[in-house]
Amino acid sequence: MQVNDIPRNFDINLLSKNPILDIAARFWDDERYHAFKVCYQSMRVLDDLVDNNKTAAMILSKLEQQQLASVVETWLKNSEVADSPLKKSLLDTQLKFHIPKNPWKNLCKSMIYDIHHNGFDSFKVFLEYCEGAAVAPASIFMHLCGVVKENGEYTVPKFDIVEMARPLARFCYLVHIIRDFKKDQNENLNYFADDLLKENNLTRPMLKTIANESITDDFRNLMQIYHNRAEEYRSESRTMLDNLKNQLAPRYVLSLEIIYSLYLQIFERINVQTGAFSEDELQPSPEEIQNRINQTISLFEAAQR
């Protein structure tokens, strides 16, 4: 990757609205970036379908749960059928880049869990849910980083995609949960585990009250646990990135470094002892994001010399 090939200045609207994965994928060539957009869009259709329905209703009735789950199950059952322009593009992309079907199967499994639940009995159950909600899209991103084009054809990556994607996916997802606490509660979305709530004298209904009124000491203790878990996965992510440096072309290493750096930027703003755990407090401005991208590129360039 030549220095002149590295994107340096992004549109302010893009930095304020686009997901970090999309920003990072823009460091790739156009063909791979298009593949990412198709895969990501197909996953967002399913994720938004579930989230929007849960946001609209405080509690889904049994019939509504069954109907919504049926839509997800039907989508997966017909995943080999090009019954829409998006589905055709997805099938073409999966074939061209040798992307396995498991990420979509895992996503659908988590979405169906989401339909029937509004939280998790334990942190272990939460991590199982993460395999579809977070690791699945991350593994597609990692797969597209790892494929190699030889004689006009793509070959499959030579390392375990899911194992390499998992720590960064978990780190990013926990950062999301901390940053979006108030927003999620107001949209009837809950990502906190009951066993950890109980340890800290909290219940699910109490979370919405805390989000709309004031942060309690018990809630800060809960957030400290989530912050500690996020730090564990951040450390594992750093090790993973260092191990991948000799297995990926520089362009794709840089894209992963961008993801890590931009989520770390949010993570560094979290103050468990005094923070309000609001998106306004924790979300960097577009200018701050641009500066962080430039810093990450500079460090990357220096390491390449």
Tell me the pLDDT tens digit for each residue of 8-29.
778 878 888 889 999 999 999 9
Tell me whether residue 7 is in a domain.
no
Residue 16 is predicted with a pLDDT of: 81
Helix axes 250-267, 217-244, angle to 10 degrees: 170
Tell me whether residue 6 is in a domain.
no
Q: Which of 73-82, 98-107, 263-272 has the lowest mean pLDDT?
A: 73-82
Report the pLDDT averaged over residues 174-195: 94
Residue 58 is predicted with a pLDDT of: 65
- pLDDT of 4 > 70? The answer is no
For 282-297, how does the pLDDT look when each residue is reduced to its tens digit (9 = 90+)?
Answer: 999 999 999 999 999 9
How many separate domains does the chain show?
1
- pLDDT of 176 > 70? The answer is yes
Q: Six-digit token pair at 208?
A: 């919405």
DSSP 44-64: HHHHHHHHHHHHH-SS--HHH
User: What pLDDT band is residue 205 in, cutting at 50, 70 and 90?
Assistant: very high
Tell me whether residue 47 is in a domain.
yes
What does the alpha-carbon distance between residue 196 and residue 198 come to, in Å, rounded to a whole number?
5
Alpha carbon separation from 102 to 74, 88, 233, 242 (Å, rounded): 16, 18, 23, 26
Report the pLDDT averaged over residues 199-228: 96
Alpha carbon separation from 285 to 264, 281, 288 (Å, rounded): 14, 10, 5
Tell me whether residue 99 is in a domain.
yes
- pLDDT of 57 > 70? The answer is no
Provide, for the chain, the percentages of residues in helix, strand and coil under a 3-state DSSP scheme, each rounded to the nearest 5: 70, 5, 25
The closest alpha carbon to 149, from 252, 277, 37, belongs to 252
Tell me whether residue 10 is in a domain.
no
Tell me whether residue 11 is in a domain.
no
Tell me whether residue 13 is in a domain.
no
- pLDDT of 190 > 80? The answer is yes
Q: Six-digit token pair at 9?
A: 């200045």
Residue 121 is predicted with a pLDDT of: 96
DSSP 113-153: HHHH-SSBSSHHHHHHHHIIIIIHHHHHHHHHHH-EEETTE
Enclosing domain of residue 34: 19-304
What does the alpha-carbon distance between residue 225 and residue 230 come to, in Å, rounded to a whole number?
9
For 103-150, how does the pLDDT look when each residue is reduced to its tens digit (9 = 90+)?
Answer: 999 999 999 999 999 889 999 999 999 999 999 999 999 999 999 999
What does the alpha-carbon distance between residue 49 and residue 3 come to, in Å, rounded to a whole number?
41
User: What pLDDT band is residue 5 in, cutting at 50, 70 and 90?
Assistant: low
The closest alpha carbon to 54, from 72, 36, 35, 41, belongs to 72
Tell me whether residue 1 is in a domain.
no
Pick left, alpha or beta for residue 202 (phi over 0 → left; psi -120 to 50 → alpha; otherwise beta): beta
CATH of the domain at 57: 1.10.600.10
Residue 47 is predicted with a pLDDT of: 87
